[in-house]
Structure 1
Amino acid sequence: MPQIENDRKKSGMPKSIPYIIANEIAERFSFYGLRSIMVTYMAVAFFNPHNIASLTTEADAKANEMSHLFVTLAYFMPLVGAIMADWFFGKYRVILFVSIVYTIGHFILSVAGPSYPVFALGLIVIACCAGGIKSNVSANLGDQFNKSNENLLSKAYGWFYMAINTGGTLAPIFIPVLKDRYGPEVAFGVPGILMALATIIFFIGRKKYKKVPPAGVKKENFVTITFYALVKLFSRKAGQKVWDAVGEKYSPKSIDAVQAVYRILAIFAFTVVFWALWDQNLSEWVLQATRLDLTLWGDFQILPEQVNAINPFLVVALIPVFSYLVFPFLEKRGLTVSPLRKIGAGLLIIGLAFVVIALLQEKVDIGQKPSVWWQILAYVLLAASEVLVSVTCLEYAYTHAPKSMKSTMSAMYLLGISAGNLVVGLINGNIVNKGFFSQFTGAKYYWMFLVILAVTFVLFLIISKRLPEKSYVGVDEEEALAKSV
């Protein structure tokens, strides 16, 4: 009986959760607040301060390049942050340290003034820290639960997801207003103040956290096995298969786990182009909004940086629409809604969003000032594509990766976002340097990405049908391995 009472006492929500949620809201607020204004700010403050019309295209390209390289680094660093936490320092120490440095990064932005090198330094600091938090906070939340209260885990992650979208929605609404009324120093500084407050709150809760100690460097990990497989590709015995050669050193279980990663990466490779298009809503689309009629109704107007605040709201609203209406409707009519079909549909719908943006840009190019409602339509399509691709990819990675590789797949998923932004950043850099892509400006820029997407979509249709699938849901890794032998 005392043991039962003990379990009941433990069955409530962990007291550490509010501290973790508060940290996440502030971090997402600061990240998306920064992204909502950084492109328009850089384009004017650093690359075209005298508003010379002939420099507009180059200034926009420079600002876009910096924005996408910032996101490239921010979504590459989760891999580094995860390694630091899992192998060396533990999640709590990494989160606390990067939260402190994150605050310093915002301070650097707020005092940068006309100095582009100082501003760029602040962006680098924030990108590194955002990555360190992103890879560890959600896992740290899961660490707070045990068998006695695991039934509350989904509710906690629901709060966590709402925290992300709360920060992502509120920031683009309020930060542009601060920039417009009080200047960039305040706009870049306020998120830093909130981040400092969140860091203090996170630190106050230190005695309430369940802290999982670092596990040290794992010998049989994805990187070491992959490297060994590459070595064996050129040094194996005559007639011997590569994975058979690798099996002489590593266990069948670890080899199967690495092979699972590569099967999933074959799908994730197509999301690179998706994210290359998606992330333009926080850069190229914001610059486009500066040339639109921003009147919503009557005399009420919004700032160009505020338009993308609708995206996280739409995502939250559309998830239940797809889950409880669209997917069941299709299933009842005999159409199987598989993960690969969802991803394919998402690629198609983001293409429709870019058709709207390209047509809108054609109007802008000839001097017209079309309504922002057309861009809002594109955001609706963008949100639908995000639900179909992003949510599905996370599900696909979970169901098709063994337990030992689930964290690796989360990092690989984020690397796809990083790679997509790197592609766009390099294209914009080429435009700045008068290279091959400099011919694709204005509406041609968006039509170019639509051609890239169309080629990707055709390849996806061809290759996805030939990819082997293995689900690890409901079976342990040994059982899944036995089924594949």
Structure 2
Amino acid sequence: MSELEKGVNYAQEYEYDEFGYTKTQPSDFSVGIPDRLRLASVIVLLTELCERFTYYGSSLMFTTYLNKQLNQDRNNAVSINRGFTFLAYATTLLGGYISDEFLGKYKTISIFAIWYLLGSALLSVSAITSIAMGTRLALFIVSTYVFIAFGTGGIKANVSTFVAEQIRSGYKPTSEPGVYYDSRLTTERCYRYFYWAINIGATTGILSCPVIAKRQGYDIAFATPAALMFVCILIFIPSYRLFYHKKPAGSIFAKIIRVFKYAKKHKSASNAHWLDAAKGVKDAEWNDAFIEGLKRSIKACKVFLFYPFYWALYNNMTDNFINQGLRMKRPSWLESSQLVVVSSVFLIITIPIFDTFIFPFLARKRVKLGPIKRIFIGFIIVVIDFIFVTVLQKQVYKTGPYYDFTGPDVTNDSFNNISIYWQIPIYITQSISEIFASITGLEYAYSQAPTELKSALQALFLFTNAGGSLIGLLLSRWSNDPEVLYNFAAQTCIMALVTALFYYCFRHYDEAIREQVTYE
């Protein structure tokens, strides 16, 4: 049993627990710094690394595999891929519900990981060329939609919360007066390295699996991620005693409904917020801290409403960007899907730089870069990225010999004489947007939720990617040449408007977040 599992008798204000932390910000607090990550968090990061190898190593081949091996046209390939992505993120709600209501995070992650492994193995079977084409397509749909999508969704909803739960909460003094280890900043660091682990796994999967497919066949290429999923299980399940385990709260949604009913019935004009009517209720199953956390969660959900548009653009990386690359000149050794690795490699390099130098430098200079401002910056960057994407697509169509690929001699392998390396700025710019928008979203979801709602709010944040996939699914009918140019242009314009509206709606939220100085 870990030290945290033995329990901590948290003291009152300005008293410190056995680990040296206090829940309330000390009066001499001047600046906060992040603490180092515990072994339990590192093990979860390694688990996520292996799972992301499995996910990206497989899914980044789906579009090409469907198009070239299962004879699906580009519209169908993009539709099937976006449908899979939608399910993978929609099922996070199921994973969060099961964890919070019944099993807890450790058991939920373990069960869904085993289900995921079964799907990965079945996916490999679907690529055996001696099987009839119709059967192979059916096996592909079952393995991806029923097994892998549910498996990754169940894991996603919980692993991003579970890794942060291993962080000790509060403020801990350092040797320098007024400088404290601040668990909010440790959580930010944790999520940066969580994203770092994601991209190491993604990079190795993206680099290796297409090469294996080219040399050994898709059956072996899909079997390789399955093997890494097995390693993921071997790392995670035996580490039970190292983890801090929070028991499932049980019936949290029913509790929220009761709070809503009570507050609605007793609200008055004197309440600053309508939920304040549920505060100070004697013998209630909730306390005032839960009400404050619920209010923060509702505000967070409003922020999350804008994320589907961001993800709709981001998810082009797994299909339309690959299709764009297939229409460009590239070396014989390079698969179009492999260029996605530029984004992951850039993140692997830059996340430690942001964590070690850039964000600490801004903190020392008292630059207030709150989560809303960071998300806004991420949205701006992705708009700039898509302006370039649209211009590049126009240049592809202006270049011969096939121009807009509407001629009678065009095949799936036809391409124009414009280098695929022009796509590199797309992936670099998109990765910078992830540092500001995606990583911040994970950290924001965790920090704003009360203890009982952390998995649920993480699941809701991840569910926004399902919304993005749904938008992409609606737009997938315009994924063929030359309509994809107008698809890119429309997405750019919509995201620009969404970004402006986002800042207008939430520009004052950061100040309220900075005033949040206590811990549950």
TM-score range, shorter chain: 0.7 to 0.9
Q: Which runs of 5+ in 2 are unaligned?
A: 7-17, 20-35, 128-132, 173-180, 404-415
Residues 372 and 509 in structure 2, CA contact (< 8 A), matched pair in contact too: no
> Which position in structure 2 is the counterpart of 1:276?
312
Asked whether 1:198 is paired with 2:246, we answer no
What pairs with 1:287-366 in structure 2 (closer than 5 Å)? 287-295=323-331, 301-322=333-354, 337-366=369-398
Query: Match of 1:444, SS?
Result: helix
**In 2, distance between residues paired with 1:446 and 1:137?**
33
**In 2, distance between residues paired with 1:291 and 1:378?**
16
Q: Which amino acid aligns with 1:261?
A: S
**In 1, distance between residues paired with 2:430 and 2:218?**
29
Residues 363 and 369 in structure 1, CA contact (< 8 A), matched pair in contact too: no
Of 422, 432, 439, the match for 2:470 = 422
Of 480, 494, 499, the match for 1:457 = 499
**In 2, distance between residues paired with 1:274 and 1:29?**
23
Distance 1:106 1:419, change over 3 A: same
**Percent of matched pairs sharing the same residue:** 26
**In 2, distance between residues paired with 1:330 and 1:111?**
51
How far did 1:458 drift?
2.6
**In 2, distance between residues paired with 1:339 and 1:139?**
18
**In 2, distance between residues paired with 1:164 and 1:282?**
16
Q: Which runs of 5+ in 1 are unaligned?
A: 49-58, 433-437, 478-485
How far did 1:277 drift?
0.5
Asked whether 1:189 is paired with 2:256, we answer no
Residues 91 and 150 in structure 2, CA contact (< 8 A), matched pair in contact too: yes
Residues 274 and 453 in structure 1, CA contact (< 8 A), matched pair in contact too: yes
Distance 1:284 1:183, change over 3 A: same
Query: Match of 2:512, SS?
Result: coil
Asked whether 1:165 is paired with 2:189, we answer no
With normalisation by structure 1, the TM-score equals: 0.78
Distance 1:308 1:223, change over 3 A: farther
Residues 267 and 275 in structure 2, CA contact (< 8 A), matched pair in contact too: no
Q: Which amino acid aligns with 2:65?
A: Y
Residues 176 and 306 in structure 1, CA contact (< 8 A), matched pair in contact too: yes
Query: Match of 2:91, SS?
Result: helix
Residues 99 and 455 in structure 2, CA contact (< 8 A), matched pair in contact too: no
Residues 124 and 219 in structure 2, CA contact (< 8 A), matched pair in contact too: yes
**In 1, distance between residues paired with 2:270 and 2:191?**
46
| Aligned pairs, number | 447
Distance 1:458 1:210, change over 3 A: closer
Report the RMSD for the aligned CA atoms in angstroms. 4.1
How far did 1:454 drift?
1.9
Q: Which amino acid aligns with 2:99?
A: A
Query: Match of 1:369, SS?
Result: strand
Of 58, 66, 78, the match for 1:42 = 66
How far did 1:141 drift?
4.2
Q: Residue by residue, what CA displacement relative to the aligned partner does 1:19-41 show, whole Å, maximum 9, x if unpaired?
A: 64543222110101112101111
> Which position in structure 1 is the counterpart of 2:50?
26
Query: Match of 1:216, SS?
Result: coil
What pairs with 1:12-23 in structure 2 (closer than 5 Å)? 20-23=44-47
How far did 1:46 drift?
3.2
Residues 100 and 249 in structure 2, CA contact (< 8 A), matched pair in contact too: yes
> Which position in structure 1 is the counterpart of 2:30?
none
> Which position in structure 2 is the counterpart of 1:174?
208
Residues 87 and 466 in structure 2, CA contact (< 8 A), matched pair in contact too: yes
How far did 1:447 drift?
0.3
With normalisation by structure 2, the TM-score equals: 0.73
Q: Residue by residue, what CA displacement relative to the aligned partner does 1:381-424 show, whole Å, maximum 9, x if unpaired?
A: 11111112123333444554455544433222212222111211
> Which position in structure 2 is the counterpart of 1:66?
80
